[in-house]
Amino acid sequence: MNESIKECMQKGGVVGNGGAGFPAYAKLAEGADTLLINASECEPLLETDYVLMREYMDRMLLGAELVMEAAGIPKTLLCLKAHNAERLGIREGEELAPHIFVKELPDVYPIGDEIGMIYQATGRVVRPGNLPITKGIIVYNVETLYNISFAVKEQKPVTEKWLTIGGAVEKTLVLRVPIGMRLRDLFRLYHIEVPEGYSVIDGGPSMGKVIHYQTATVQKTTKGLLILPDYIPAVAGKGGDMKTQISRASSMCCQCTRCTDMCPRNLLGYPLYPHKMVRTATSVVELTPEMILTANLCCGCGVCETAACCQNISPRNVILEYKTILAKNRMKYVGNEDVFVDEYRDSRLIPISRWKSLLGVAPYDREAEYISTPVTARVVELGLSQHIGAPSVPCVSVGDTVKVGDMVAGAGNGLSVPTYASISGRVTHVDEKKIVVEA
């Protein structure tokens, strides 16, 4: 292992750019034979990764080469949808840089789920609850590799975020925004209104979360901000209290098993049975964490809720509730069993055009305009827990002057990364959760 590359990745504050923000350095491990670049961007309306590759493919490939060098990985596959490969002018099997090849993925949902993508690209199935490295694979996202290239080659830490603003807006935009910028300032700058009866989704329409944009800020994990009407399934499915959902499930679930038949994780052979989870939720038997342990295997794709159930039940929400219980009890499903892919898997994945219609987002699907000038902010609120692991620890005080790229909080103990100023200015607030810098 090349420890100096690994150290630069940590020092640079590089984390996974979607999902939970896993520190990138901690994914590096001996024993991998393949690096997969997750450029699948399977969430509708998001164009962040595509635009980043179009503008900075070389930078992203440099990041991949550094990871290959650090962990001694002989081969990389750039995994992206065939139509994006066409837009980028590259094709299946093409060698983009030494030992880095194009791997086209079908235009189906949810192809970007790490476990599903690994199977699609390599034919290997990671055992339930295990990490990709157990099958000799490491996966990084496009923007993570882009950030790694700067952190290692120029010692430039992560201070900005690439993101898409889309949905019910005049134009879909891809922007580079200072981390910590307040969304209300960002929206004001681009004259973006959030009308009554509309919500802001952080992430894609399938797996993103409804957020309160008046108080939210841009995080290292913010990939998209979508303004969407509350009545479309993509937004309506995210609401509702659990009590109502359980009582609806207990009166309406006919145990047809369609949610299980279409679950992409179940189709890979994982012992995840959403219909049984719904049954457990509605039974009178007292729940134990052991009874719901396989909930850990759910990737939260929402297929069971949006495409499978005709009774308006959300197995996903039930399972997400179970995952919270498991997290509180520090319980995790780890299986030693080999699993076998369902022979009908390929035919049960959902064409992306149908998925967009099911979510109600097809009218908002359009090509993004890239704004190459980075956005400027007057104030940033730098969260100290934008990553999995220990929060960063402040190393500045109120009144200090900082420049872009100065460290404002060091890495905490154990798994952690530092946090850096994303604008130049004066520190006006410090506590254990955030640091505010004003220009």
List of residues contacting ligand SF4 (CB under 6 A): 253-259, 263-265, 272, 274-275, 278, 298-304, 308-309, 311, 313, 315-316, 319
Angle, alpha carbons 316-220-229 (nearest 5°): 50
Which of residues 235 and 435 has its CB atom nearest to ligand SF4 in the complex?
A: 235
Helix-helix angle 274-282:242-252, to 10 degrees: 100
Measured from the CB of residue 129, what is the shortest distance to ligand SF4 in angstroms? 14
Angle, alpha carbons 328-332-336 (nearest 5°): 170
Which of residues 111 and 308 has its CB atom nearest to ligand SF4 in the complex?
A: 308
Checking phi first, is residue 329 left (phi over 0); if not, alpha (psi -120 to 50) or beta? Answer: alpha
Give the DSSP H/E element, type plus range, for residue 103.
strand 100-105
Across-strand partners of 380?
181, 437
CA 52 to chain CA centroid, nearest Å:
16
Is 383 strand, coil or helix? strand
Q: Are 396 and 207 in contact (CB under 8 A)?
A: no
Measured from the CB of residue 2, what is the shortest distance to ligand SF4 in angstroms? 36
Which of residues 257 and 385 has its CB atom nearest to ligand SF4 in the complex?
A: 257
Which of residues 214 and 312 has its CB atom nearest to ligand SF4 in the complex?
A: 312
Measured from the CB of residue 30, what is the shortest distance to ligand SF4 in angstroms? 30
Say which residue the tokens 């305009």 belong to. Answer: 369
Measured from the CB of residue 263, what is the shortest distance to ligand SF4 in angstroms? 3
Which token pair is 299?
A: 């990737």
Measured from the CB of residue 305, what is the shortest distance to ligand SF4 in angstroms? 7
Measured from the CB of residue 417, what is the shortest distance to ligand SF4 in angstroms? 29
Say which residue the tokens 């996903």 belong to. Answer: 316
Q: What are phi and psi of 114, to 5 degrees?
A: -50, -45
Which of residues 173 and 301 has its CB atom nearest to ligand SF4 in the complex?
A: 301
Measured from the CB of residue 308, what is the shortest distance to ligand SF4 in angstroms? 5
Q: Residue 373: which residues within 8 A CB-CB, separation 6 or more?
A: none
Measured from the CB of residue 130, what is the shortest distance to ligand SF4 in angstroms? 16
Cα 379 to Cα 139: distance, rounded to the nearest angstrom: 34
Measured from the CB of residue 297, what is the shortest distance to ligand SF4 in angstroms? 7
Fill in the amino acid letter for 408.
V
How many angstroms separate the Cα of 16 from the Cα of each of 38, 64, 122, 370? 11, 14, 22, 22
Which of residues 335 and 412 has its CB atom nearest to ligand SF4 in the complex?
A: 335
Q: Are 414 and 389 in contact (CB under 8 A)?
A: yes
Which of residues 139 and 303 has its CB atom nearest to ligand SF4 in the complex?
A: 303
Which of residues 346 and 438 has its CB atom nearest to ligand SF4 in the complex?
A: 346
Which of residues 350 and 402 has its CB atom nearest to ligand SF4 in the complex?
A: 350
